[in-house]
Structure 1
Amino acid sequence: MTGRPLLLLDLDNTLVDRAGAFAQWAGLFAAEHGREDDAAFIVAADRNGHTPRPVLAATVLGRFGLDTDPATVERMVDRLLYEHVDFVEVYDGLAEHLEVLADDGVRLAILSNGPVEQQGRKLRRTGIDRRMVDTVISEGVGVKKPDERIFRIALERAGGDPAGTWMVGDDPVNDVAGGRAAGLRTAWVGHGTVWSERGDAAAPPTLEAATTREVLDLILDR
């Protein structure tokens, strides 16, 4: 393609393996209570981070027969928010690939839903934002994907325009539908799932591939 685009990059399960990190934490929590087989229950109840943390906290505590008083739920929310961060890693080879793209003039920015402190810890742990022109976290701007307003905020802060910008992410609603509604081209990271096999009639992304690195290469080959 001619010119260098602006790429808005989702963080969890696009740049970093949030799913793998949470599964590791769930396994440790279950083992801590002698209930190793319930790790899969925690992961399923988490719904890839979409279950509100107070709801998930109460669900997990109830499953394990633990107190569900407000103070205990609050402490569990903190564990759910922060303890899995210690296991978060960037996908293999992706950090180096982003370095190459940045050196080639591609503008990169992170656009992530989530609490500022939680997502900030992931950035400090991985350093994945080192070559980004900006990082927008939903809690910090008071609006979250798929609301069009957060995409406009990211474009304004990174100095982009819809026609020259891609939204890259793994979430069909937050990243693909949200990005499309904001007038961006969209690229979906399927992690082994093909869009056409998802079983709904949602409009497809502009591009799709199994991994973030493959998606980035497809974008830049256009």
Structure 2
Amino acid sequence: MLKAILFDLDQTLLDRNTSLKKFVEWQVNFFQLVSQKNKQDFITRFIELDNNGNVWKDLVYTQLLKEFNIKNFNVETLLNSYVNDFNKFSSSFERVPETIQNLYNKGYKLGLISNGKSPFQENNFYALGLKEFFSTIIVSEAIGLRKPDIQIFEHACKELGFIPNECIFVGDNPKADIEGANKAGMKTIFFHPDPSIDYPLADKQIHHYDQLEIAINKLENSIL
């Protein structure tokens, strides 16, 4: 029987792409980093350099200050703003809050496993307003383990009081989320908002949170 559901954060619960665009637009305006004429170019370049969150922002800002010839601010000031202000723009994918509450009300234990920096990732998660439904929140930097290492999945399952084959992992990254959780012995659900992107090695796939409970029910029925 499946008793727990664990989630990735960025691009799974958190619509990071939308949140990042909102944050960068605010930061450009707030600090008046570039002219309005160059604002969209700055935002586009930030997103390119960020590389889906794989590049830490000190390197991103160093390059942006150079490319846009920004003299009034240094990397430290802009990085501090990113760390402290990004969470104010955190937004979830459509139907995430309702779905999480439904799963919680049905008796599932819920958990989070996110690769990233601490407390930055925790604060981004808290801003979604879902903390009360989650029994464990694990960020890689805080415990010294990163997905796809099976130990981080085993640690999370243990925190919830279950073994991996009683747990489902929902994530968007084929290697870090799906392969890692599969190797740990968990069932997996691949999420991507683009219906054209699939990952058939996951046990189930969804493209909208309206589909999550149906996918979980199918996994439940497959192991009865």
Report the TM-score, using the length of structure 2 for normalisation: 0.85
Q: Is the 8 A contact 2:117 2:140 kept in 1?
A: yes
> 2-side partners of 1:105 and 1:146: how far apart?
27
Select which of 9, 12, 22 maps to 1:11: 9
Residue 195 of structure 1: SS of its match in structure 2?
coil
Distance 1:187 1:178 in 2: 12
Deviations 1:68-110 (A, max 9, x none): 9xx9223332233332221112223321221121111111111
Q: Show the 5 A alignment for 1:53-92.
A: 53-67=57-71, 72-92=74-94
**Post-superposition shift, 1:152?**
1.4
Counterparts of 2:172 and 2:84, CA distance in 1 = 21
Q: In the aligned structure 1, how far is the partner of 2:149 from the partner of 2:210?
A: 26
Cα pair distance change 1:56/1:156, threshold 3 Å: same
Count of residues in Structure 1 that have an aligned counterpart in Structure 2: 212
Letter aligned with residue 214 of structure 2: D
The AA in structure 2 aligned to 1:12 is D
Partner of 1:182: 184
Q: Structure 1 CA distance, aligned partners of 2:63 and 2:56?
A: 11
Deviation at 1:132, TM superposition (A): 1.2
Contact 1:53-1:81 within 8 A present in 2 as well = no
CA distance in 2, matches of 1:159, 1:29: 42
Q: Which residue number corresponds to residue 199 of structure 1?
A: none
- Aligned AA (2:137): T
Where does residue 155 of structure 1 map in the other structure?
157
Distance 2:40 2:124 in 1: 28
Shift of residue 59, structure 1, vs aligned partner: 1.9
Secondary structure at 1:126 match in 2: coil
Equivalent positions of 1:13-32 (< 5 A) are 13-31=11-29, 32=32
Deviation at 1:217, TM superposition (A): 2.7
Residue of structure 1 in register with 2:117 after alignment: 115
Within the candidate set 181, 192, 202, 1:205 is matched to 202
2:177 counterpart of 1:215: no
CA gap 1:157/1:188 in 2 versus in 1, 3 angstroms: same
Please tell me whether residue 42 in structure 1 is matched to residue 40 in structure 2: no
Any idea what SS the aligned residue of 2:216 has?
helix
Moved more, 96-105 or 82-91: 82-91
- The alignment's TM-score, normalised by the length of structure 1, stands at 0.85
Q: Contact between 1:102 and 1:131, CA under 8 Å: does it hold in 2?
A: yes
Q: Distance in 2 between matches of 1:150 and 1:67?
A: 42
Measure how far apart 1:175 and its partner are.
0.8
Measure, in 2, the Cα distance between the counterparts of 1:204 and 1:4: 19
* Secondary structure of residue in 1 paired with 2:113: strand
Unaligned runs of 5+ in 1: 197-202
Residue of structure 2 equivalent to 1:200: none
Give the counterpart of 1:194 among 186, 197, 203. 197
1:168 counterpart residue number: 170
Percent of aligned pairs sharing the same letter:
22
* Structure 2: unaligned runs, 5 residues or longer: 220-224
Q: Deviations over 1:136-163 (max 9, x none)?
A: 1112111111222211111111112121
Secondary structure (helix, strand or coil) at the match of 1:168 reads: strand
